[in-house]
Structure 1
Amino acid sequence: MTDQLSSQVPPLAHYRLLGNSGLRVSPLCLGCMGYGKSWQDIMGEHVENEAILDTYVEAGGNFLDMANKYNEGETEEIIGEWMKKRGNRERMVIATKFSIGMRKNDPNAVGNHRKNMISAVKDSLKRLQTDYIDLLYVHFWDFTTPIEEVMSSFHDLISAGKVHYVAFSDTPAWVVAKANTIAQFRGWPHVAAYQGRYSLSDRTMERELIPMLRSEKIAHVPWGVLGQGKLTGKYQRGMQPKIRGGITQMTEKDFQLQDVVTDIAKQLNVSNSQIVLAWMLNHQPGTIPIVGCRTTAQLKEHIQALGIRLNSEQMKRLNDASAIELGFPHDFIGQGFKQNPIIKYRGNENIELDDVPLQ
């Protein structure tokens, strides 16, 4: 463990800035997707919601993630009622999303256009029992709404005080980069955060999205950080269990990676899940993972991962076992100056350059 967990400061009170903003958020974001009864067939039953929220806040946590569509609106209602009872709205950083339709047979109740964004925010504010949203995400890119319309609508909501910060989820890197550039030149609010699927068992965000986030100074707030429980050790060879509604199944590569995770977990006397989370915190410093919990015990286990430091050998084993093909152009020019073989071609072998910008 490190001083971070042994100090007088609660573990989640070691705040970090959200991207290129001054907003302070906890190093772990609490995912609230399972709060409610409408999606129990997918998410399972969650009965410790308030205890988990209270434990999170007691540990210094302030960053909650949800969406208007989660449990058909129940999630926002539960969080709104909890904040009202605790009287802690101002302390919390509330992140929610829009894009997915909430009304049937209405073509304008889905997508990223101005009508749906403004309508969704109005409804979310009512469910959350508040007059502003700290961080509003485009839930997914709809491939139809002009980027200028999205960013100008964000600008209007921020100017009206209904939203404080702009964010994107599940959107191609080129869209986010273009949106940020448009905002910069129009004097509109920039993109503060991005959500995407990222874990030790799925590192494909490293191809385009993570380099873009670094270049644009956008906070990385990934979901699916435990890989749907694929590396916990509960799934063994010979079993092919459906994982979360049959979204994915274990492959031989997953089992080989799980073997490495299990071995390192035994070395450090911690759980597989803690190793998976610690890998992300060590591999991508500054990342703010979203963690979902069914029990307070699970939350405490996740928090303890903040104090796990993996040595270079352990990181290498995990990185090698989880490596992905980066594809073109990265397999041709690398992802940085020092990786680019063309720079040092024929007579330039001795070129060195320190402090190269991330882009």
Structure 2
Amino acid sequence: QKMGQEMSNINSRVGTRLDQSKDDVEVFSKRVQEDIEKLLDKKREKELMLQKRYDWYVSHSEIAQAKLLKNEERQQDILRDIAAKAAEFEALTTERIKETEVIMAEREKWEQAKAEHAQFQLVLDEHIDRMSKFCDVGGSALEVGKHFRAYFEAIPGKITKAAESTWAVTAGPTADNQKLYLEYFTTYMMDLGEILWVKEKRLDELERRTRNVQYTLDLCADTYDPNGPKYKQSLRELRAQTDDLGGVINDTRDRGDKEITAFDETADALKKMGVEFVHPMIEMNAAHVEKRTGHVYKKAGFMQSELHYIDEVTDELSETKMLVKQAKSTRQANLIPPLMSPESQSPRYRKNREQGFPVEGSPQPAGGT
């Protein structure tokens, strides 16, 4: 029962408290609603003020933008004026510099011309002074020249007289010396001709040996001669000797020509003195021609023998070609003569056999060397 009473009290108090809370909530809600209304009014007031501010900003922005455009146009005009003025200023400055340079250049030319004129005046005064002195010296020299002229006009006669007297004394010894020089020079030219003859013969011999070695070298492949390298070495040595000897001969001829040129003065003097003589050059060439003529005759005889041999070999080759051609066409080998037959031997081989000369590769008689 007590518990029931307490519960009843509690419920009563809770109900009372709930009623109070309800009233409090209603009051609070009302106050909150009022505050919200106030805030909304404040918001609308703020929004209105913001809209006014925005409208004011837009209107003033348009005005400011228009002013800025006008300001910019004015600035562009001013800049264009400044650029034009700057260009004009630059042109004026350049013109001023050029004019100043022209003035300075002309001033420098004037100063240089003035200095040159002053220097010219100094040199002219000095030159005039020297010319005056030279005129005085020239007058004195003219007098001295007159005396020298008289002296020099007398000199040719004195020299001619002295030369005639000297020549009268030395004419005889000079003629003797020139005749002696003729004898010595004749001996020299004859010896020179002999030397040239010997060296030219040696050169001909070297050239002949060179041709023979070249011919032998060309036949190495046909004759199976294994000495080809030796022939090549010999050919090089012969050609080197030929070149050296040719140079010696040319040098000898050059020295001889110089001596002949040096003798021309003596030859003219001997002719003027009436001395009859044969020029040593003529005597040397006469002896040289005589020796060469004899040598050519001997060589011609040898060449005649060689030409006769070549003719015989040519005839033999013609006959052999005909036999070979006939044998090939008829296929009969018996038409070709045996290898040791007289017909198959060379003309020179047959001739040596007929004359009894030993032939290389043939049997030698008893006691033969």
User: TM-score, normalising length from structure 1?
Assistant: 0.19
Higher helix share: 2
User: TM-score, normalising length from structure 2?
Assistant: 0.19
Which structure carries more relative contact order (alpha carbon 8 Å, separation 6+)?
1
Larger Rg: 2
Higher strand share: 1
